[in-house]
């Protein structure tokens, strides 16, 4: 999809960013594609899609035209190069952590987090070799004191912050 003009104001990006009107019907609204799978033109076409040699849809949990518009719109609004829409906040937190930390790294988190986040940090991430240090998040100095050379991120509420920005 082509990106709208950079001269669009915020209101126009909110309504039209990341989407072109339907060429067949002229519909301005983003269609909701309620499908889980897509048809391939040939085995060669499928192979190119799965090897990421060619853009296109494979399976809705990987990509969907409706979600693609949302991701493009968020990217435009935030001035980013891309965006990723996920199905839940827990998925977003997990993706964020697993993209910056690996076995042997550590994360610092406020101890005042949602129960699911606490369980992810206290029970699941240690299985991947990622240590999570919990601190009293009401005092920012507690985060600063906990930073080591292995710290890859800080979670204070629902914002993952690189230690260099703290």
Please report the DSSP string for 119-156 in residue order: HIIIIIGGGGT-EEEEE-TTSHHHHHHH--TTEEEEEE
Q: How many residues does the chain have?
A: 166
* 3-class DSSP assignment, residue 70: helix
Query: How many Å is the maximal CA-CA distance in the chain?
Result: 60
Q: What share of the chain is helix, strand, coil (3-state, %, to 5)?
A: 40, 15, 50
* Stated pTM of the model: 0.69
Tell me the pLDDT tens digit for each residue of 63-83.
Answer: 888 899 999 999 999 889 999
Tell me the pLDDT tens digit for each residue of 119-130.
Answer: 999 999 999 999
Tell me the pLDDT tens digit for each residue of 74-110.
Answer: 999 988 999 999 988 899 999 999 999 999 999 999 9
């Amino acid at each position: 999809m082509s990106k709208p003009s950079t001269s669009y104001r915020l209101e126009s990006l909110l309504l039209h960013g990341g989407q072109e009107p339907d060429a067949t019907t002229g519909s301005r609204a983003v269609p909701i594609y309620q499908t889980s799978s897509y048809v391939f033109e040939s085995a060669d076409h499928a192979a190119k899609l799965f090897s990421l040699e060619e853009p296109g849809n494979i399976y809705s949990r990987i990509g969907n035209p409706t979600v693609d518009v949302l991701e493009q719109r968020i990217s435009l609004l935030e001035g980013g190069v891309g965006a990723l829409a996920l199905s839940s906040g827990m998925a977003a937190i997990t993706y964020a952590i697993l993209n910056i930390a690996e076995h042997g790294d550590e994360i610092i988190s406020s101890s005042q987090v949602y129960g699911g986040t606490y369980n992810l940090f206290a029970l699941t991430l240690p299985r991947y070799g990622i240590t999570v240090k919990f601190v009293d998040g009401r005092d920012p100095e507690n985060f600063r004191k906990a930073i080591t050379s292995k710290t890859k991120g800080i979670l204070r509420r629902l914002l993952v912050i690189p230690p260099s920005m703290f």
